[in-house]
Structure 1
Amino acid sequence: MQLTHILSFICLLFYSAFSWAYAPLNALPEGNRASLLVENLDSKTLLSTQNNDQYFPPASTLKVVTALAAKLELSPDFSFETRLEQSGKNWVIRFSGDPTLSTNDLKKMLSSARDKGLNKINGDIWLDNSTFTGYNRAIGWPWDILGVCYSAPSTAITLDGNCVHASIYTQKEGKTRVYVPEHFPIYASTQVKSVTKSEQESSQCGLELISSPDNHYQLNGCLVERKKPLPLKFAVQDPELYTQRMVHSVLRQLGIKLQGKIRIGSPSHGNTKLLASHHSEPLNVLLEDMLKRSDNLIADNLAKTLGRTFFHQPGSFNNGTAAIKQIIFAHTGINLEALPLVDGSGLSRNNRFSSKAMADILHYIWRNDDKLNLIALLPVAGESGTLKYRQSMRKEPVVGTIIGKSGSLYGSYNMAGYGLDASGKPNSVFVQFVTDYFPPKRKAGEKPTVAPITKFETLFYNDVVKFSQAASQKHLGQ
């Protein structure tokens, strides 16, 4: 019993620190807003009640909510299906918004049809995009990152992750060249200057990307001289045009002759015959990829799919986020109606969430994880996914003792998840929302220092671990 009293006193000290003036927050620069919530899963003993009803941009922690809605609404064996059908003299590829569909998958489908003796298309090939409708990018997505792959458009006709890999090389006399593998049907050019580091710092000249709707990418600005090429990932701006060109290329490779054209849409209704189909990995695999790698395209295409299945109409950002709210309320009783949500990934700056609502979601997942099996899909501090190399999670006692989902957006640094007990099981739930975080920029010549957010997180996560371990020891002492 003496151990129990001591640990209770420790928890009381934690509670006092969090409730009045939590010291680690002093590591953050002026102007920030923060909401912290830490509580025991069994007893709901609170360590923090700071700003828990205020709204914050959730960033990628929103993927936990999307994952829960998908688990509640879709069957465990759900997968995205892409179908190759024959309709009269036309062929139709019916896309489902599969975020993992590759050109090689399409090639296998068309090859299967050819192997059945169908090596000539007397009509057109139609690329059916009717499963989704509305915007390909959610309201509030930052305009300046639309050219890079983590903001690839969310589309029914999705191929190769709507992402193209390229690279840029520095050359002599201040020149650069950009390389795109020849099988990608895009065009990239460079006017970037190759400069020394001192020239770059004095001119304040950085690397800029301008993308156009016809999948043309223009690189401008400056790049510091380097021996190896700089890898680039371009978000495909027009996935339909990209897919048209890739299908043309695959038809040539397979020797399938096309009499007509490759069109977007679907031919007039008539009898169809299934020629081949492709299924993505099942839901659990998709969710693990989405949560561990923080894949925005999977999250947004799943959100639109939820809108389609829940409302029985083409999916969109609008009905997808509405479906997420209704699905979660119907199954859990958690009311998210007042929270502004505009996508499933958290990429939009217009999303808002509270730490209390996020904690409620995490509590529900924990109570029902024997059916949901979601916690095991989350990254582990210092060991997997987006948390593997996070500076504040790579050392003892934090490494391996926290499971959670990170989320970062301009000025926001978030985390939501579970602290583990001594046996490695979730014992506490925690939410960290930090926004309006704008530390002073390091001046030229100054030595690198530990970022304020890293200092804060290191202290905070240490406290989360101490609380979780203390609570589990208290339980054992009883």
Structure 2
Amino acid sequence: MFKFYLLTASLISCSALAYAPLDKLPGGSSTSLILESLSGLSNEMKTNSDGFYPPASTLKLVTALAAKLELGDDFHYTTSIVRSNRDVVISFSGDPTLQREDLKSLLAQYAKSQSRTINGNLYLDNSAYTGYQRAVGWPWDILGVCYSAPSSAMTLDSNCAQASIYTKDNGTTRVYIPAHYPIDVTTTAATVTRSGQKATQCDLELITTPDNAYKLSGCLVERKKPLPLKFAIQNPELYTSQVVSSLLKELKIQVKGDVILGKKEKADKTTLVASHRSEKLPELLDTMLKKSDNLIADNLTKTLGATFYVQPGSFNNGTEAIKQILLTKANIDLSKAQLVDGSGLSRNNRMKSQTMVQVLRYIWENDQQLNLIDAMPTSGTNGTLKYRQSMRKAPIQGNIIAKSGSLYGSYNMAGFGLDKSGNPNSIFVQFVRDYFPKKPDPDKPVEAPITQFERAFYKDVVEFSQTQNKSQ
């Protein structure tokens, strides 16, 4: 039936023809589906393609395309140490992959080539970005976890610190923090049984403070192994300056002046002493798309704003730069789309599924230069789609390349169906919003409605991609 609608109907809206898999979604949810041949010869499937939906992490495809077009494959982030008369400046560029060991190596190079004494001040220059470190529309209740780590010019250790919490027989809990993380974590959380937790509806809660202190409270179900924790650094400047102080002490480098956060105002002649380069853009985008890395996406967005407008980068000028770059270089009009970050984490982002189709088609048409399709996850094989329930079995496994995206109430996918040779042969976009299924009964496990829907839809995508006649 599905193939009949696609191949014989002429641009029919599926809202006029019932598409059975939609019945698997709970009442009240809204869905925009598009499936079309890359050849342009087959008719299209469209539902609600004029509506605006939260793109969630599928927005990273837009960010990746803008970065490729504007920055180019040779782009990399550079963190440098320069000497300026008696002073020394560490310039941070927003490198989302900079680690403590990289900073240690930079300082060690300085000590080896110069001296172990800085006679003037040490400046930690964080002027590459300006404005908010969190985009409008990021919910307050996720700001303590690492997938919503702040986007900052001074980024270190992915702005994320790891720890673990243990349950104890006496009903309390304890926390372990590796010594090299300059954060403070306390816990008053109680250890409870599973039945006790269910009876009281008491969950583990986290409160953060601007000085990188974390307070855990509530309840944790008793467990034999520690629960890993990942805390988003709340104040990247404080965190980095504390790490720098620790490394100076470790390397026996003495600063006779002050350690100052910010740009050195007096423009003296500078001499480059040491620098660290990130991986180049293709490697950054591969990680960003396969792992759905929000920090890389948002720092790239601010870097696009800085490059395009020749001023410190921000969420505001970065998202506007993305719109201008795609309009002038790819003829994709995002003027009506609402973009407030580059990761898709904000609940305020909105775009049409038809616009996402334009992005995907441009990526495919220019894949020889862009090489973005290989950076996207493959169904049931790698990245965020490796373990996705709807994609782990034949015929879907290995036959779809796509970027997923989910937020509260939203479940999205955008990508390509592959032909029998493993080449993209169709474009599809799935935007689902207002998805609020009934709470499952743990004693009667049922497969989630979204998984049932996706499995049916992706089977149709694969069938369409592998049976359509390219020469028709």
Check whether the contact 1:82–1:98 (CA below 8 A) recurs between aligned residues. yes
Q: 1:218 is matched with which residue: 200, 215, 218?
A: 215
Q: What residue is the counterpart of 1:363 in the other structure? A: 361
Matched, 1:186 2:169: no
Q: C-alpha distance in 1, partners of 2:72/2:359?
A: 20
Give the residue type in structure 2 aligned to 1:148: V
SS of structure 2 residue aligned to 1:475 = coil
SS of structure 2 residue aligned to 1:123 = coil
Give the residue type in structure 1 aligned to 2:389: Q
Q: C-alpha distance in 2, partners of 1:12/1:24?
A: 20
Q: What residue is the counterpart of 1:148 in the other structure? A: 145
Check whether the contact 1:416–1:430 (CA below 8 A) recurs between aligned residues. yes
Q: 1:334 is matched with which residue: 319, 327, 332?
A: 332
More moved, 14-23 vs 213-222: 14-23
Q: 1:247 is matched with which residue: 244, 249, 267?
A: 244
Structure 1 residues 68-107: aligned runs within 5 Å: 68-107=65-104
- 1:259: Cα distance to partner? 1.5
Give the residue type in structure 2 aligned to 1:253: E
Q: What residue is the counterpart of 1:301 in the other structure? A: 299
Give the residue type in structure 2 aligned to 1:430: F
SS of structure 2 residue aligned to 1:78 = coil
CA distances 1:258-307 after superposition (whole Å, capped 9, x unpaired): 22222111222211111100000000000000000000000000000000
If the length of structure 1 is used for normalisation, what is the TM-score?
0.96
- 1:248: Cα distance to partner? 0.6
CA distances 1:113-157 after superposition (whole Å, capped 9, x unpaired): 111141101122111011100000000001100000000000000
Q: C-alpha distance in 2, partners of 1:413/1:26?
A: 16
Q: C-alpha distance in 1, partners of 2:31/2:56?
A: 14
Q: C-alpha distance in 2, partners of 1:262/1:45?
A: 64
Matched, 1:261 2:258: yes
Q: C-alpha distance in 2, partners of 1:261/1:201?
A: 54
Q: 2:7 is matched with which residue: 8, 11, 19?
A: 11
Q: C-alpha distance in 1, partners of 2:212/2:389?
A: 36
Q: C-alpha distance in 2, partners of 1:142/1:459?
A: 32
Give the residue type in structure 2 aligned to 1:428: S
Check whether the contact 1:100–1:159 (CA below 8 A) recurs between aligned residues. yes
- 1:16: Cα distance to partner? 6.8
Q: 2:422 is matched with which residue: 421, 424, 438?
A: 424
- 1:18: Cα distance to partner? 3.8
Q: C-alpha distance in 1, partners of 2:41/2:217?
A: 53
Check whether the contact 1:148–1:234 (CA below 8 A) recurs between aligned residues. yes
Q: What residue is the counterpart of 2:439 in the other structure? A: 441
Which 4+ runs in 1 deviate beyond 6 A?
7-10, 13-17
More moved, 14-23 vs 381-390: 14-23
Matched, 1:320 2:318: yes
Q: C-alpha distance in 1, partners of 2:230/2:456?
A: 35
Q: C-alpha distance in 2, partners of 1:455/1:40?
A: 24
Give the residue type in structure 1 aligned to 2:298: D
Q: C-alpha distance in 1, partners of 2:29/2:256?
A: 62
Check whether the contact 1:18–1:47 (CA below 8 A) recurs between aligned residues. no
Q: What residue is the counterpart of 2:109 in the other structure? A: 112
Check whether the contact 1:418–1:430 (CA below 8 A) recurs between aligned residues. yes
More moved, 426-435 vs 258-267: 258-267
Q: Which runs of 5+ in 1 are unaligned?
A: 1-6
SS of structure 1 residue aligned to 2:268 = coil
Structure 1 residues 372-391: aligned runs within 5 Å: 372-391=370-389
Q: C-alpha distance in 2, partners of 1:400/1:65?
A: 23
Check whether the contact 1:303–1:344 (CA below 8 A) recurs between aligned residues. yes
CA distances 1:78-99 after superposition (whole Å, capped 9, x unpaired): 0001110111211111000000
If the length of structure 2 is used for normalisation, what is the TM-score?
0.97
SS of structure 2 residue aligned to 1:172 = coil
Matched, 1:475 2:470: yes
Q: 1:55 is matched with which residue: 52, 57, 75?
A: 52
Q: What residue is the counterpart of 2:272 in the other structure? A: 274
Give the residue type in structure 1 aligned to 2:396: V
Give the residue type in structure 2 aligned to 1:248: S
Check whether the contact 2:13–2:46 (CA below 8 A) recurs between aligned residues. no
SS of structure 2 residue aligned to 1:359 = helix
Q: What residue is the counterpart of 1:175 in the other structure? A: 172
Q: C-alpha distance in 1, partners of 2:452/2:250?
A: 55
Count residues with an aligned counterpart: 468
- 1:31: Cα distance to partner? 1.1
Q: C-alpha distance in 2, partners of 1:302/1:95?
A: 14
Give the residue type in structure 1 aligned to 2:136: I
Structure 1 residues 397-416: aligned runs within 5 Å: 397-416=395-414
